[in-house]
Amino acid sequence: MRLINVLLALLVSLLIALAVFEGGLRLIGMGPPTTLNTFDPDTGWGNKRAAHLTTSTPDGGRVHFDFNAFGLRESDQVQPTKPAGVRRVIALGDSFTLGRYVEQKDLFLDRLEAMFDEVQIVNTGSEGFATDQEVAWLLAHGAEWKPDLVLLFPYENDLYWCGEEDYTGYAKPRFEPSGELEERELPNRLHRGLLGRSAIGRLLRGRPQVPTFKPGSRSIPREFAVVLDELPAFMEEPMARAEGALRALVRRTEELGAELVICPIPAETAIHPRERERFERGLGLGSVGWSGDNAVERFRRLALDAGIPEERILDVRPRFHQLADDGEVLYFDRDWHLNEKGNEELARFLSEELPRLDLLPAPQRDLAPLAVTEPSAGLPTWLLAFAGLWAVLGTIYSITYRRDEKPPLAFVKVGLMLAVVFGLAIGGSHLLALLPPSLMRLAAIAIVLAILGFVVYKLGDRLGTIVELLTAFTRRGHWYLLPLVVVLLSVGSLLVVAASSPLVAPFIYTLF
C-alpha cells in the first residue's frame, strides 16, 4: 500500500509540475492557437463544421467565424439545394476568400452579394488552400451545389504548393500536369491529441518548417520563388501541376454547365511601394531581379494555356494601383491579407466586371458604405485590464494601509507599479515580434529560464528546505496533500523573492 501511495505522490508531483509549466507557457503567449481547420478526405483539410470561433488579428483585435454544417463561412440557410430563380456563384479560394482577418460583413464576397437580389455567392474559402485543393473541392461537391458561375481567387504562393503533396506536414491533393487528380488516400494529420493541443506540445514540436532556398543574401521560403524574374529549376513541376489543376477546373465547370472566371489577388508588393521595399530588405533580394507582379502574370499565362479566355481572367491591379496612389491602404500593416478597404474595393471591381461580361445582372443597389469600427470607439484589451487591476488593487491597498497612505497617493503608487509591469510586458512582446520566428522561440525560452534561474538564486538555501519537504511528503505517500503544499510553498517563495529584490517586487505583488 505504501508503494502505491509513493507512486501516486510522484505522479501528482509530475502532474503539478507539468500544469505549472503549461500555465507559464500560456501566460507568455506560447499557448496553442485557435485553429479553424479540421480533416477533410477530399482536400486534406477544411473549415470546421457548425462551429463558432474567435481568433486574434495581427493588429491585436478579434475576428469571429461562424461556419455552417457544411464548413462554409455562411449562414445555416445556405444549403446545397439552390433556391428557385437564384443565380448561384461558387467562390473558390484560400484565406483571402475566407476573410481571415475581417468580419464576415466586411468580406468582399458578402458585400458583393448584398448588391443583388437574385444572386447567391457561396464562400468555400479555407485557410492555407492552394489552387489544387480549391479545384478538388469543386470536383467533390460541385454537382451537389450546382453553380451557375465559378469564381477562382488564386494567390501568389498557390503556384509553389500545387507541386507539393503536403503543406507544412499536412497532406493535400495534387494534380498531374494532364489535369488528372492523383489517386491516393489523404491521411489525417490534423488530429493533434492532448499533447498537440497543449503549449508544451507546441514547444516540443516547434513552428512548422517550410522549404527554403537562397536566391540572394539569405534563405527564403520556396513559395516566394514565383516573384523572381528567373524561376529556379524546382518551380518547373509546381507550374506544370498548377496548369493541370486549371485544366481540371475548366473541364469540371463545363461538365457542370457553369461559367468560369479567374481573379488573381495581387500581393501587397505589387501594389504598395513601401511593402516592396520592406519585402526586398527583409528577404535580402537587393541584388536579385524580382517583381510583385510576376506571380499574377505567371498565373495569367497558365490560365491561358489551360484554355481560359483572356476576358475571363480579371486583373484588379490597375484599380488597386490608382487607390494606392491616392493614399488608400488596402492591406493590413502587419499581415499580407486585404483589410476592410481592400475587400470593399475588390467587391466594387467585381460588381462592375461580372455584369460587363454578362455573367451577373446589373447590381440592384450600390455598394453599402464601409462600416468599420473606429479605433476610438473601443479600448484596447490591455488598457481595460490595466484599468480593472488599478481599480481593484488600488482599492485593496488604500483600505489595507489607510492609516499610512492617503487614498490618492495609494492609487498613484499602484498605478506606477502597474505601468512598469505593463510597459515591460507589452514592450517585450513587441520586441520579440521583431525577431525571426526561430529566434523568437529561443528568446522566449531564454526569458523563462532566466526568470526561473533568478527565482532559484534568490531562494538560495531555502530551496534545499523546500526540496526536503516535498521529498518527505512524497516518500510518506501523502499524495493528497501535495497540491496544497505546492501552492503554499509557491506563494511563500514568491513573497521571499519579492522581499529580496525591489526590481522584481512590482511583478510579483501584481499577482496578488
The answer to whether residue 99 scores a pLDDT higher than 50 is yes
Average pLDDT over residues 376-400: 74
Report how far residue 58's alpha carbon sits from residue 326's, in angstroms, rounded to the nearest whole number: 25
Write out the H or E segment, with its range, that includes residue 277: helix 273-283
Tell which wins on pLDDT, 384 or 195: 384
Position 459, amino acid = L
C-alpha–C-alpha distance, residues 443 and 449, integer Å: 10
Interacting residues of 261 by C-beta distance below 8 A, sequence separation 6+: 149, 150, 151, 152, 312, 313, 314, 354, 357, 359
Q: What mean pLDDT do residues 292-303 have?
A: 96
Crossing angle of helices 236-256 and 294-305, in 10° steps, is 50
> How many C-alpha atoms does 300 have within 13 Å on its Cβ side?
17
CA torsion sign for 305, 307, 308, 309 is positive
- Burial pattern 423-438, b for ≥16 Cβ within 10 A else e, equals eebeeeeeebeeeeee
Residue 210: pLDDT band with limits 50, 70, 90 = confident
Q: Is the pLDDT of residue 312 over 80?
A: yes
Pairing of strands 166-167, 149-153: unpaired
Average pLDDT, the chain: 85
In this prediction, residue 428 has a pLDDT band, given cuts at 50, 70 and 90, of low
Rounded CA-CA distance 262/354 in Å is 11
* The residue count for the chain: 512
* Percent of the residues in the chain that have a pLDDT greater than 70, as a whole number: 82
Average pLDDT of the residues in 95-106: 95
- Is residue 313 left, alpha or beta, with left meaning phi > 0 and alpha meaning psi from -120 to 50? beta
Domains by residue range for the chain, with CATH: 2-28+379-511 (no CATH), 50-181+207-362 (3.40.50.1110)
pLDDT at 397 over 90: no
Contact indicator for 315, 296 with CB cutoff of 8 Å? yes
pLDDT value for 452: 72
| Contact call for residues 299 and 283 (beta carbons, < 8 A) | no
Which is nearest to 314 in space by CA: 275, 258, 266?
Answer: 266
Residues in contact with 136: Cβ distance below 8 Å, sequence separation at least 6, in sequence order: 42, 43, 173, 181
pLDDT at 356: 97
Q: Which stretches of 83-164 are DSSP H helices?
A: 95-98, 108-113, 131-145, 158-161
pLDDT tens-digit map of 135-193: 999 999 999 999 999 999 999 999 999 999 999 889 999 999 999 999 999 999 776 66
Q: How confident is the model at residue 457 (pLDDT cuts 50, 70, 90)?
A: confident
- Quote the distance between the C-alpha of residue 89 and its chain's center: 27
Cα–Cα separations (whole angstroms), residue 236 to 120, 225, 243, 352, 420: 38, 11, 11, 36, 55
Give the three-class secondary structure for 14.
Answer: helix
DSSP letters, 409-436, are HHHHHHHHHHHHHHHHHHHHHHHHHTS-
* Predicted pLDDT of residue 437: 53
**Please, are residues 146 and 82 in contact by the beta-carbon 8 Å criterion?**
yes
**CA 200/CA 24 separation, integer angstroms:** 10
